[in-house]
Amino acid sequence: MNVQRSIGQRIISEDLRVQRLLEDAALIGGIYTMGFEECLVLTNDLWKHNAGGIPQHCFLVASAMQPGEAPEEAEDEEVILLRVVGPAPLPAEAELVSVRAEAMREIVTSEGMEASSTPSAILDVLTRNEIQFSAVRTKILGTFYEAEVNGEPLLTFGSDVETFYSASRYKVYKPYGRSLSIIASYPEATPGEAQGYRDERVSESRPTRVRIGTVRYTSSTRRRQQDAGSERSTAVPVKVDIEDFIAMKTAVFGMTRMGKSNTMKTLATAIFQHSQERGVRVGQLLFDPAGEYANVNVQDQTALAQIGTDYVTVFRFGASGREAGVRSLSTNFFADQTIGVTWSIISAYLSQNRSNYVQSFLAADVIGPERPEDDRSAWYRAQRRRAVLYATLLRADFKPPSLTVRFAANKDVVAAVNTELQRGGHNCVQADSRGNLHLATSDLQVWMDALISAKETPGFPTDWVDSGMDALLTVFKGSVGSGYRLLEPLRVFHSPAKTRDYAEEVLAELVEGKIVIVDLSLGSEAVLKFISERIINHVVTDAARRFADGKAPHNLQIYLEEAQRLFNRDRFMTPNEADPYVRLAKEAAKFKIGLVYATQEVTSVDPVILSNTSNWVVTHLNNRIEVKELSKYYDFEDFAELTLKAEDVGFARLKTRSGRYIIPTQVDLFDAARIQSACRAAQAANEARR
């Protein structure tokens, strides 16, 4: 057997020959005027009825071929794809309107008309036939034809028509069933993918097509429901190439409760399943402001976390760390190994306070050099300042872990402070043989209070308390402004049991290929804003470091809701290089980070982002300004009125990177079946690795 042909038959099947586009299709008329951009189609009521109606935006196909027959000429072996725009006038439209009006007058005003009489009993045959004819204006989307790949025919699409002949050559059909399914899910295989199919690489090369919904043309679904079980159903599956969404930007637009989160859960689960089936790690990070990804959703009774704790990790406030698959978003403010995280949280929180004592406090270096050998003097200064910071946190009622604070102090400082301790009725503290003090957290505040008094006494080594340490002591004492009370709101970030930075933990889970859900349903807006920005900054910074070092990027996907606040034009007009969202938007593609963002305000998203967005899912928008902005991209202008009027949940206009035209789609409700399918894929992948 020819292996190459076997592969072609299996993947590029006979179902994708161009003739199949006409096999499940109902004749609705013919073209009587044609150009390169649009054409006018003659039809009548009988043909429309037999085809189940011709709704606006529905797909039609035109061809000189006859269904089921080989074309007489090779150049006729093509099918033109059309989309219905609206009605069009016939050449004799004025006369037809006159005839229709006269016929309607006869129907309505005929005297003695029996109750059982019908228009057919009043109008003559010729009149009835004449008034049924009408015309439809359609937009030409492109041409289907066959190309040869590896010796096998591949259905190919061009986004125009090369030429056209006398319009009377083209008959027009409304596709349904398998024919419509081919159109709705095109391409099943791109030429590049088909070229890559080889004996040993079939499973790796074959693209993953995932059902995301069904074709839906109108908000009214009466006919759709009537033909749901018939052979001529237009409610056919819409499948997308899931790789279109990996390392690319995806926009999900629509009003609140129109299905944006449902779409994002569907994409996240499909990408997870795809990565498991391919044996490729793709980490996915979802920020969950309403808790609907981490917790069972009332609408669909599912949660992404149900995929399992082996594959999904949830980070949230207040987590004890004892629950499987759930970790805390807090940091141990008393841990030396995460002092950089602690100080960044404090600095970010106090950065808007312009008081002199606060700015002096923030200017103090509590981190110091990485090793004492780098700069021993700076190392010792940072140790002393850090001890003051810990004392300040204790005074602000931060719950301490079991901790001993260590720092160096010369004998004159120790003696002066011990004198003050004795005056207060406290025990003296002695340094070890190397001149280091070891203070338990229970003694730290007392020692710092004594230091504040001792540094005012004659003979105290004034250079030991430098300006940075003095600024920290001012806040600790609380004698100026709010003092240590400024830090009290940050207690929510602190957990004495934590030993690692949560941003590092998030990145580590992503690198393992897990779904990471950052549950932001608890906590104040300021706290949640800081957490999400810290995580994104950490992820982007790591990606930039790998890029600079010439290392392969990690496969990552980031999902963001309320994108109007994150990618707004003001942020891009006056960019702050430290802004994590500006960095993410500009650098995500370079670092192979996929970005899925959702919003109801298209105009608020910077055009730089929109122009570089590959995939679009658009549901209902209630504002003409937003729809006008959307209409600048692809063919969304054709759907402007439908986008404004149709308020049906999940009724979307879909354009993907490899898709060549917009598909009106009813997005499937995310359900337990998708969760179970993803779990089975993960289990199969685990068994294959054993």
Q: What is the pLDDT at residue 2? A: 38
* pLDDT, the chain, mean: 85
CA distance 156 to 55: 26
467, pLDDT greater than 90? yes
Cβ partners under 8 Å of residue 377, min gap 6 = none
Q: Give, rounded to a whole angstrom, the gap between the first and last alpha carbons of the chain.
A: 33
**Amino acid identity at 471:** A
Residue 687 is predicted with a pLDDT of 84
Tell which residue, 230, 99, 80, has the closest CA to residue 157: 80
435 neighbors 408 (Cβ within 8 angstroms): yes
**Apex 524 CA angle, 518 and 530, nearest 5:** 60
CA 217 – CA 224 distance, rounded (Å)? 9
User: Averaged over 68-88, what is the pLDDT?
Assistant: 84
pTM over 0.85: no
Cα separation, 540 vs 584, whole angstroms = 7
The reported pLDDT for the residue numbered 466 is 93
- Report the distance separating Cα 580 and Cα 540, nearest Å: 8
Q: What is the pLDDT of residues 621-665, one digit of tens each?
A: 999 999 999 999 999 999 999 999 999 999 999 999 999 999 999
Residue with tokens 């088909």: 194
CA dihedral 251→257→263→269, nearest 10 degrees, is 130
pLDDT of the residue at 348: 81
Domain spanning 240-330+500-689, CATH class: alpha beta
Nearest of 246, 253, 242 to residue 588 by alpha carbon: 246
What is the per-residue pLDDT for 203?
Answer: 45
Instruction: Decide: helix, strand or coil at residue 655.
Output: strand
Sheet hosting strand 615-618, strand order edge to edge? 237-241, 209-215, 663-667, 651-655, 615-618, 249-253, 593-599, 556-560, 283-288, 515-519, 312-316, 326-328
CATH code 3.40.50.300 region(s) in the chain: 240-330+500-689
CB 638 within 8 A of CB 139: yes
The per-residue pLDDT for 111 is 56
The 3-class secondary structure across 319-368, one letter per residue, is CCCCCCCEEECCECCCCHHHHHHHHHHHHHHHCCCCCHHHHHHHHCCCCC
The tokens describing 25, both together, are: 């299709």
Q: What is the pLDDT of residue 168?
A: 73
Measured in degrees and rounded to the nearest 5, phi and psi for residue 148 equal: -100, 125
Is the pLDDT score of 666 beyond 50? yes
Picking from 256, 316, 293, 294, the residue whose alpha carbon sits closest to that of residue 527 is 316
Cα separation, 49 vs 46, in Å, equals 5
